[in-house]
Structure 1
């Protein structure tokens, strides 16, 4: 960046680095928590039909409020929700950004519990919102007492909870969410990007929405719907929250093609669930195998696994990359995160890690077991 542009840049952004995972061409890419299974031909045909219906009208602006899509999303979630409870945007990141634009901002505070989704503090910074990290316990768990105490101490305008959490994969129980809500005077946002992969769907905050006007549940179609390239996120909340977001959303923010494609995917939600079930099996295979090797592994309700027992996590990351397997070094000492892939991809990862263990036992704390 030139000195002149650096001078003009906001002071709080100077010297910062943008969000991003390494984009490296490898045979097995398991670093960004994408759905490993592409859309099958039947789903592609349905999505294509929805797109074709919109192509001839691209000279017209899209439905500014995406009412038909929101209706379909409400139907998908159930739980007595209506179109008035739903809002959609370009990925859940835009949803979170809009929430901070409306309820955060200068002289306001957002509270999170790191390590968690790294975009939360970045989005807070981008909207001029102060971000406070209340941390987690040594094992990265989060309980109702810790959450309530942090909220009481900091009195945030927006509180972020993530369930299942990224990068740990652990899900919150409903008592943690209700404790956060009861302790808060502000908005409580539960980021459920990986909710469809959870082993127990009853813990979803969707079921807690009635009677809680300050509770928001954010989700995405990127993961369970294998729709990462389409960029579709949404939230469920009290209608007043949805109404407030329309004060900050850009006009016609969600393109007609995006809305059409998302409606096609939602039409195939039951079929796409089969891919979710396959990824759950591969996730559990990773957990069981790594634990059988003596490596500590966090319980995962997502489509990825956080594992430890490494003396040099970045060295192990490089050894895997040298074998054509890309996982995520998320900056936690002694730990790496791997996305559950297809059966072949998962086998490739496990074989590469096993070879690394055998050839470089000094990189593994539990290698002698």
Structure 2
């Protein structure tokens, strides 16, 4: 008998994770390259120290103070729509990964279905697998936008309990228009399903791109999730959160682990929120750097997906792994992810992006930089 007695469907699988390599320029995990300031770090340290004095007690199970602060932050995106997010609509967990897992624990499971539209975040089917939820994959259009009619037809046919839609999408960076969210909310709501819009990268969206938060008052089945890992430069803090109808939060409370959010995590996140203007101060710079990189890559003859995130998907390479390895040899780490022939680069500092451009220029002049023949792209 094989040991250990792992579930059969998990046997032989590799765990999720991007390569963690010690190279000069790391542009593969969509982190904010600008860390917290000394003032923010001091506030976090002082707050954690204060929390440490009470670590003999369990944390606030309802993380009320944190939910109040997150509601105030989210309400900045709903002012134009004429309403505010309330603490009763907000829930937090250890990264948006745990938020998603809790949603599938509460609303997925045996006999239920979840779905998304590829290419998209590779962890979604793993959340489904881990909660014994049937997984269905639809597909995006050639330009990575969502074919709303095809998506609605799939949803109506499969009637998934949970539909996961990132906006901006990972790994393509594509944002969803509000009318698409409206259509799919109605389609899922018709049979009692949830539509989860994953806005992990939403702070980087281009001017004029609204948040799905604006639709919360009209769609009880809409969930909007976010994270402090990206724009807030708090990837090491592991804090994700969502906004939804309070009844959805009540369902999540049934499956959450006891005292799931530590006092230390709550204290660090609250301190970071007090420094929100400073932590988000580099977002505009990263947007400009992203747009410059898109323009530059296209000038090199590469295909580039339009991006509303802090990363760019580009290609198409005859052998993307060879190109990835060649960049790595130049000290630049990007991500092999998404459709065949494409790579994803996170947006770093100007110095890091200059190193990326120099390395890419050098590699494009070698066999590793060979682009896919357009005549064969449809078969790839």
| In structure 1, C-alpha distance between the alignment counterparts of 2:107 and 2:141, rounded to whole Å | 28
1:88 match: 92
1:42 Cα offset (Å) = 1.8
Match of 1:351 among 342, 355, 358: 358
1:265 Cα offset (Å) = 0.6
1:298 Cα offset (Å) = 0.4
The structure-2 alpha-carbon separation of the partners of 1:266 and 1:201, relative to structure 1 and needing over 3 Å to count, comes to farther
Indicate yes or no: 2:209 matched with 1:212.
no
1:41 match: 38
1:183 Cα offset (Å) = 0.8
Per mean C-alpha deviation after superposition, the further-off stretch among 357-366 and 221-230 is: 357-366
1:292 Cα offset (Å) = 1.1
1:163 Cα offset (Å) = 0.3
| In structure 1, C-alpha distance between the alignment counterparts of 2:215 and 2:284, rounded to whole Å | 25
2:307 match: 300
Report 1:309-328 matches (<5 A).
309-328=316-335
2:378 match: none
Is the 1:88–1:95 Cα contact (8 Å) retained in structure 2? Answer: yes
Is the 2:196–2:224 Cα contact (8 Å) retained in structure 1? Answer: yes
| In structure 2, C-alpha distance between the alignment counterparts of 1:338 and 1:144, rounded to whole Å | 27
Is the 2:324–2:336 Cα contact (8 Å) retained in structure 1? Answer: yes
**TM-score if structure 1 supplies the norm length?**
0.96
| In structure 1, C-alpha distance between the alignment counterparts of 2:112 and 2:69, rounded to whole Å | 34
Query: Could you report, residue by residue, the CA deviation over 1:181-202 in whole angstroms, capped at 9, with x for unpaired residues?
Result: 1111301100110000001364
Is the 2:323–2:369 Cα contact (8 Å) retained in structure 1? Answer: no
Report 1:177-326 matches (<5 A).
177-184=181-188, 185=191, 186-200=193-207, 202-326=209-333
1:4 match: 3
| In structure 2, C-alpha distance between the alignment counterparts of 1:162 and 1:129, rounded to whole Å | 19
The structure-2 alpha-carbon separation of the partners of 1:281 and 1:39, relative to structure 1 and needing over 3 Å to count, comes to same
1:18 match: 15
Is the 1:71–1:83 Cα contact (8 Å) retained in structure 2? Answer: yes
Is the 1:172–1:203 Cα contact (8 Å) retained in structure 2? Answer: no
Indicate yes or no: 2:54 matched with 1:57.
yes
The structure-2 alpha-carbon separation of the partners of 1:341 and 1:99, relative to structure 1 and needing over 3 Å to count, comes to same
Query: Could you report, residue by residue, the CA deviation over 1:31-72 in whole angstroms, capped at 9, with x for unpaired residues?
Result: 011111111112112222322221211111100010100000
Indicate yes or no: 2:152 matched with 1:148.
yes
1:118 match: 122
**TM-score if structure 2 supplies the norm length?**
0.93
2:73 match: 76
1:331 Cα offset (Å) = 4.8
Q: Compute the RMSD of aligned alpha carbons.
A: 1.5
| In structure 2, C-alpha distance between the alignment counterparts of 1:120 and 1:201, rounded to whole Å | 28
Is the 1:161–1:188 Cα contact (8 Å) retained in structure 2? Answer: yes
Aligned residues: 364
Structure 1 moving runs of 4+ over 4 Å: none
